[in-house]
Amino acid sequence: HKRVAILISGGGSNMLRLVEDMAGDHPARPVLVASNDPTAAGLRRAADLGIETAAVDHRPFGKDRAAFEAALQARLIQSAPDIVCLAGFMRILTAPFVDGWRGRMLNIHPSLLPKYRGLNTHGRAIAAGDAEAGCTVHEVTAELDDGPILGQARVPILPDDDAETLAARVLVQEHRLYPAVLRRFAAGCTDPLTLT
Ligand code: GAR
């Protein structure tokens, strides 16, 4: 089995879907769930499932991203992952960290990349009058929300949508897309997947 570490910052619903999928016949197994926020609800949820967890709090490091990333890296390599999945991990990671995981680190982003990198993706899609939104799983590179696309799923934007209702519709698709992409990626497939 490939060893998978999952990095979260919040509730961890995507993390839970990845873990659930890996419980079955699957080329990978979860070996660590880590968060930059020690209070992230997802940490408890992962621990309840018997998965090793870690908190690497970014706040004591202040503006020193390199020192935070060194601490995160040290904790990650203790678990010797083959693949690192960012799942609602809300810290920007810099090139020295990301480059070391090149080709082995995935992220899920709540937009149809290359549209709407960064935050408030749903509000921006609605404000732009887009007919559809969605989510993307991609390989992580040093550029924010860039890197080879491994999969996308689309949803319609409805006339009465606000950022919250659209986010909920996209999240349902995130929960389908990320496990499907990880399963393929762990088996060595990097062809983009389009879910319908
Ligand atoms: C998800 O919608 C994910 O796509 C998004 O945060 C949410 C985390 O939810 N990620 C980003 O915005 C990354 N910049 P979860 O903790 O329930 O998986």
Q: Is 174 in the pocket of ligand 1 (CB under 6 A)?
A: yes
Name the pLDDT band for 177 (thresholds 50, 70, 90). Answer: very high
- The pLDDT assigned to 172 comes to 98
Distance 97 CA to ligand 1 centre (A): 20
* Amino acid at the residue 25: D
Backbone angles phi, psi at 56, to 5 degrees: -120, 90
The encoded tokens of residue 165 equal 């209702």
Q: Given ligand 1 and candidates 13, 14, 21, which is best to mutate, with the most ligand atoms within 8 Å of its CB?
A: 14
Average pLDDT of the segment spanning 96-115: 98
Q: Whose CA is nearest to atom 7 of ligand 1?
A: 88
Q: How far apart are CA 192 and CA 126, in angstroms?
A: 26
pLDDT digits (tens, 9 = 90+) for 6-45: 999 999 999 999 999 999 999 999 999 999 999 999 999 9
- The long-range contacts involving 65-68, CB below 8 angstroms and separated by at least 24 positions, are 65/92, 65/94, 66/94, 66/96, 68/36
CA torsion sign for 40, 124, 105, 187 is positive
84, 105 contact by CB (below 8 A) = yes
- The pLDDT assigned to 33 comes to 99
Is residue 109 part of the annotated active site? The answer reads: yes
Q: Report the SS3 class of residue 104.
A: coil
Q: Is 49 in the pocket of ligand 1 (CB under 6 A)?
A: no
Q: Given ligand 1 and candidates 6, 9, 13, which is best to mutate, with the most ligand atoms within 8 Å of its CB?
A: 13
- Bridge partners, residue 4, by sequence: 30, 83
pLDDT digits (tens, 9 = 90+) for 106-142: 999 999 999 999 999 999 999 999 999 999 999 999 9
Distance 96 CA to ligand 1 centre (A): 23
CA neighbor of 122 nearest in space, from 168, 153, 83 = 168
CA neighbor of 154 nearest in space, from 169, 139, 164, 165 = 169
- The pLDDT assigned to 1 comes to 97
69, 93 contact by CB (below 8 A) = yes
Distance 1 CA to ligand 1 centre (A): 26
